[in-house]
Amino acid sequence: MTDHQTPISLTAETLPGKANATADQVLDAALALFIEFGLRRTTMDDVARQAGIGRATLYRRFGDKDQLVQAVILRECQQQLALIEQHLKGIESAVDALLEAFVLAVTRAQSHPLLTRLLRSEPDTILPYLTTELPEVTTFSRLYLAGQISKLQKGGLLSAKPAEQMAELLLRLVQSLVLSPAGVIDPADENSVRGFANLFLRPLLTPDNR
């Protein structure tokens, strides 16, 4: 097997919580309101009115505001993964693709309108969702990425270091760069993040025999 035969796959459809059309309508409304007014100032009534549905219908689909916020975050993760996957299709090298996925995960998160708005205006509200209140996202991401790494390792395309630990390291670095952006590495600058990735992560990922 050669390096160009195994591109990284980050298929967003494997994430939980794929919504139907009506739920998407609600999530679109909630996202717009969260970006404009923040989490604290947005009520379930506001979301129902923006989505053009009744309050009772909203509560049937999302039991409370916390569930709605989680659903918005999960869908945004799905959509960002889909965008990253599309970008990776033209990259032949498994190492290059994984590094580029890292760069895009950092920079897209750093520039995401909802995340940037909430980290600036109400970090105490959003931070729990990005750390402790949505463990299924981090757990799924780690296991899924570890599975992809393991497949590439079997083909000799990545370093043979423990796949799950490697996946967790990459995800923790993404989280740290996004939530603590001040430093030498600029998480909003692709060149800065790519330079870091090439200098420190490429040796970690490159197969031992290369």
Owning domain of residue 167? 90-210
Q: Model pTM?
A: 0.85
* Structure-token match 């059309």, residue found: 21
**What are 118-158's pLDDT values in tens digits?**
999 999 999 998 888 778 778 878 888 999 899 999 999 99
Residues 102 and 23 placed together within one structural domain of the fold: no
Lowest-confidence pick of 46-50, 77-81, 175-179, 194-198: 77-81
Which residue from 190, 3, 11, 209 is spatially nearest to 100, judged by alpha carbons? 190
Rounded distance between C-alpha atoms, residue 172 and residue 149, angstroms: 16
Q: Is residue 118 part of a domain?
A: yes
Do 148 and 112 have their domain in common?
Answer: yes
Structural domain contains residue 26: yes
- If asked whether residues 28 and 103 sit together in one domain, one would say no
Instruction: Return d(Cα 48, Cα 197) in angstroms, integer.
Output: 43
Residue 84, in any domain of the structure: no
Residue 109 lies in a domain: yes
| Domain presence at residue 101 | yes
Q: Is 17 exposed, middle or buried (0-12, 13-18, 19+ CB in 10 A)?
A: middle
Distance of alpha carbon 33 from alpha carbon 78, whole angstroms: 20
Provide the pLDDT confidence category of residue 14 given band limits of 50, 70 and 90. very low
d(Cα 88, Cα 11) in Å, to the nearest integer? 11
